[in-house]
């Protein structure tokens, strides 16, 4: 009796406490919430101590020289003490911070049973009941692990251990991939657009497993039922809706949601919720019934940029046919004829660098490569209508700059119909209004520059 009372009494008192003052989902005095905040910190002491017991037993069994077995009793005693303190903090957290829900209850009961198990473990150790002691030790460790697992689910969500399990391991263990619970009909505005926001951002704390402030957001009925302070939405009026007020407070405000340092809902998400409330917060309206609702499924996703890899072999093959002709021209006119890129045989003609020194005679020498020139800048060169037959053969040219040349408007009109042309620059060329009208009607052109 002298041993039984101190071993079991505190545990029993703890059980009485949590039965009488069971957490009811209402937020209480700040002192409870403050003390409760230490629960995740304190809780690791009993866990570590209890796990020390088998380590000492096993090591002591095989290595008698160390003589560590006598320490086991004191470890069990300290573990017992720690396992009484930790649930006290936990109770303060759940009681003070307004927790309720399935996992909260399971976690709490598992937690308050730990000191009881520790007390019995201590007795079986003191009485030297070998087999019973081993069984009790196994049971205590199992109970502690289970409690810890439930605690993890509360803090990090129900699937915190299995969410990122590799698929092949999942198959072996027969664990199904977690699927998001269908909250409501996805073919309604609420089910398809609003509920997914709640599911992603709110339900960890306002769902079946953990219910803070008596509010659950995992179904329409529960949402409209409201929380500890009454309804959270006022259909038709987002401004007087508590839920809307909470998510739009300044991020450092005490009552801001999501709490605990989680980032705010995005502007689009907030707008979407506001629109839905303003339009009556109906569970049935169709997804496209609310005008101006922001769309954010694909638009905000990052756009990955893929570029063709540098491939000199392919480029050389593409250039082979005209390679000699290009080299010849480049020697005659340095720096003005270049390949568009390392990966192609397409050419870029930049004759404007020669200004007036580039005319019809010079252009004629480019005859062999005309078909591969995709960009031709002839700005301020002395090229004239004499080059018309050559210019009209530039069927792959997408950009043609003829500004400040003396090309006539008839040729310009013909050139505007070059099959690949996208951009044509005619600034400084005198063009009649009739021709201008015709030019603006050319469909291919994305850019047309005229005086």
| Pairwise CA distance, residues 235 & 212, whole Å | 22
Give 106 or 423: the residue with its C-beta nearer to another protein: 423
Q: How far is the CB of 400 from another protein (least distance, A)?
A: 10
| Pairwise CA distance, residues 442 & 4, whole Å | 100
- What is the number of helices (H) and of strands (E) in the chain? 19, 6
* 3-state DSSP assignment of residue 448: strand
Give 124 or 379: the residue with its C-beta nearer to another protein: 379
Give 152 or 294: the residue with its C-beta nearer to another protein: 294
- The answer to whether the CB of 316 falls within 8 A of the CB of 339 is no
Q: How far is the CB of 377 from another protein (least distance, A)?
A: 9
Give 112 or 337: the residue with its C-beta nearer to another protein: 337
- The answer to whether the CB of 97 falls within 8 A of the CB of 27 is yes
Give 45 or 256: the residue with its C-beta nearer to another protein: 256
| Pairwise CA distance, residues 234 & 274, whole Å | 11
Give 266 or 384: the residue with its C-beta nearer to another protein: 266
Q: How far is the CB of 228 from another protein (least distance, A)?
A: 26
Give 216 or 375: the residue with its C-beta nearer to another protein: 375
Dihedral over Cα of 279, 284, 285, 288: its sign: positive
Q: How far is the CB of 346 from another protein (least distance, A)?
A: 8
| Pairwise CA distance, residues 337 & 319, whole Å | 14
* 3-state DSSP assignment of residue 373: strand
Give 103 or 326: the residue with its C-beta nearer to another protein: 326
Q: Are strands 399-401 and 373-377 parallel, antiparallel or unpaired?
A: parallel
258 to 206, 243, 251, 270, 384: CA distances (angstroms): 10, 11, 9, 12, 71
Binding region for another protein (CB under 8 A):
250-252, 263-264, 266-267, 300, 302-305, 307-313, 316, 334-335, 338-344, 346, 348, 350, 352-353, 399, 401, 403, 423, 425, 427, 447, 449
Dihedral over Cα of 74, 80, 86, 89: its sign: negative
Dihedral over Cα of 80, 81, 85, 86: its sign: negative
Q: How far is the CB of 310 from another protein (least distance, A)?
A: 5
* 3-state DSSP assignment of residue 88: helix
Give 66 or 251: the residue with its C-beta nearer to another protein: 251
CB contact set of 113 (below 8 Å; sequence gap of 6+): 15, 143
* 3-state DSSP assignment of residue 420: coil
């Amino acid at each position: 009796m002298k041993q039984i009372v101190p071993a079991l009494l505190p545990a029993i008192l703890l059980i009485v406490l949590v039965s009488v003052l069971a957490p009811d989902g209402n937020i209480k005095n700040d002192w409870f919430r403050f003390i409760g905040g230490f629960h995740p910190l304190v809780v690791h002491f009993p866990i570590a101590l209890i796990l020390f017991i088998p380590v000492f037993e096993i090591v002591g069994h095989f290595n008698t020289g160390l003589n560590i077995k006598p320490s086991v009793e004191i470890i069990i005693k300290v573990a017992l003490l720690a396992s009484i303190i930790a649930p006290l903090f936990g109770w303060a957290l759940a009681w003070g911070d307004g927790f309720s829900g399935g996992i909260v209850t399971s976690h709490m009961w598992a937690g308050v049973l730990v000191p009881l198990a520790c007390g019995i473990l201590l007795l079986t150790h003191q009485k030297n009941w070998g087999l019973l002691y081993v069984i009790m030790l196994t049971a205590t460790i199992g109970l502690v692990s289970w409690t810890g697992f439930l605690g993890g689910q509360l803090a990090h969500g129900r699937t915190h251990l299995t969410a990122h399990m590799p698929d092949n391991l999942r198959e072996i263990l027969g664990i199904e991939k977690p699927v998001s619970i269908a909250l409501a009909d996805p073919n309604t505005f609420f089910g398809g657009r609003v509920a997914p926001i709640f599911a992603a951002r709110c339900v960890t704390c306002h769902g079946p497993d953990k219910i803070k402030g008596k509010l659950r957001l995992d179904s329409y009925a529960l949402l409209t039922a409201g929380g500890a302070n009454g309804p959270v939405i006022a259909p038709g009026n987002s401004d007087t809706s508590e839920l809307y007020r909470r998510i739009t407070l300044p991020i450092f405000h005490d009552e801001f949601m999501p709490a605990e340092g989680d980032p705010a809902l995005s502007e689009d998400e907030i707008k979407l919720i506001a629109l839905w409330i303003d339009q009556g917060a109906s569970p049935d309206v169709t997804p496209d019934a609310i005008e101006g609702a922001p769309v954010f499924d694909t638009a905000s996703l990052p756009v990955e940029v893929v570029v063709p890899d540098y491939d000199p072999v392919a480029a050389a093959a593409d250039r082979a046919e005209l390679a000699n002709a290009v080299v010849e021209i480049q020697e005659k006119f340095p720096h003005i004829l270049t390949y568009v890129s390392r990966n192609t045989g397409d050419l870029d003609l930049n004759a404007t660098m020669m200004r007036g020194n580039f005319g019809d005679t010079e252009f004629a020498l480019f005859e062999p490569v005309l078909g591969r020139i995709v960009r031709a800048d002839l700005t301020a060169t002395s090229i004239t209508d004499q080059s018309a037959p050559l210019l009209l053969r530039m069927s792959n040219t997408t950009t043609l700059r003829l500004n400040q040349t003396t090309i006539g408007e008839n040729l310009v009109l013909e050139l505007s119909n070059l099959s690949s042309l996208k951009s044509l620059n005619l600034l400084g060329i005198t063009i009649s209004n009739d021709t201008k009208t015709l030019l603006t009607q050319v469909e291919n052109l994305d850019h047309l520059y005229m005086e």
